[in-house]
Structure 1
């Protein structure tokens, strides 16, 4: 749900050998160049941080999430299928995104831009996502991998990137989880996804206040 924005979703590549202690925020937050070929395949969710109202509540209830990115016949267009388990129930969404110049983009029915960050993990994908709705801009930082778990050093680098963005501490997935199966029922596209995101992207300040309060309660009493 949130992760469909969370979808919202997406991917990346890897690789640098420099130690974390010698890495500045400028180095850690600089987008990397990545090709559409490197993004293809199945990616398992590791953790994320977001200032989207309600995102932390969903993050605490999320028990698994995976993405499958495949090519299409259209130039600069990739197909993305997102499947997540929230509070025991699996759901899936299928939609297309524009990929060009190492950037994933959706412009309608909401604006979302994703770029990819460095990682010392050869099969990981660190993502910086920006969502704009009306006058509001929301930021998410996400980590995916080809594996269910990554090393403590990779997690440490990701946590440092989140800190450099001045974001809330990331919520990391419990790796002892069961992955949702390949979906067999029809999946909604961006219009369906947008309908789910309406409460989170609402410009109503009271709605945002209520969701942020819920986020604080989950942070206090969950985990």
Structure 2
């Protein structure tokens, strides 16, 4: 290979190398693409500016959400949380406007925007309003139990940029997440039948 070819290849590589993202890029809301956020997501890390909610996050063993589009154009978010070793399930309606989605709870609402994220991950910046209390939170979810180091570093940089405390919840990838309530339970008879 001649020197000019090597120089050309090296100059192309230096131009195409990914530049580190600055805070302005990292906290810029993305256009809401409902198809991309639909499906199952495992809660990987989360932080909040509210001390009481941070205490609640520390009780989470594992969490999972499923964003489901229905045939009539409405959506629901199904939550499965294991907190202090106990499974908790809930289903909430979702609405969409501009680049955000809104979830209505019995005692408040949550409005979330999507921030830049690594592959197979979802970063949500949420404002939760409950009985006169406003809480800001930042979460990262993954399609699998573990994310790439670069995706986690990007999220942690977003935490810094938005001046949140270090994450109160970090999923270790080892604990099981609550089983799906919609699946029938396996009975002893079923287990015996499998052995025959």
Give me the TM-score of the superposition, normalised by structure 2. 0.77
Paired position in structure 2 for 1:209: none
Q: How does 1:54-203 map to 2 (within 5 A)?
A: 54-75=52-73, 77-106=74-103, 109-119=107-117, 121-133=118-130, 135-170=132-167, 171-184=169-182
How far apart are residue 24 of structure 1 and its match?
1.4
Paired position in structure 2 for 1:27: 25
How far apart are residue 104 of structure 1 and its match?
0.7
**1:137–1:18 distance in 2 versus 1, CA, 3 Å:** farther
| Cα pair 2:92 2:103 within 8 Å, conserved | no
Cα deviation, 1:47-70, whole Å, max 9, x if unaligned, reads 010123322222222111001111
Q: Which runs of 5+ in 1 are unaligned?
A: 1-16, 186-223
Q: What SS does the aligned partner of 2:146 have?
A: coil
CA-atom RMSD in angstroms: 2.0
Q: Which has the higher strand share?
A: 2
Paired position in structure 1 for 2:11: none
Give me the TM-score of the superposition, normalised by structure 1. 0.68
Instruction: Answer 1 or 2: higher relative contact order, Cα 8 Å, separation at least 6.
Output: 1
Q: What SS does the aligned partner of 1:182 have?
A: coil
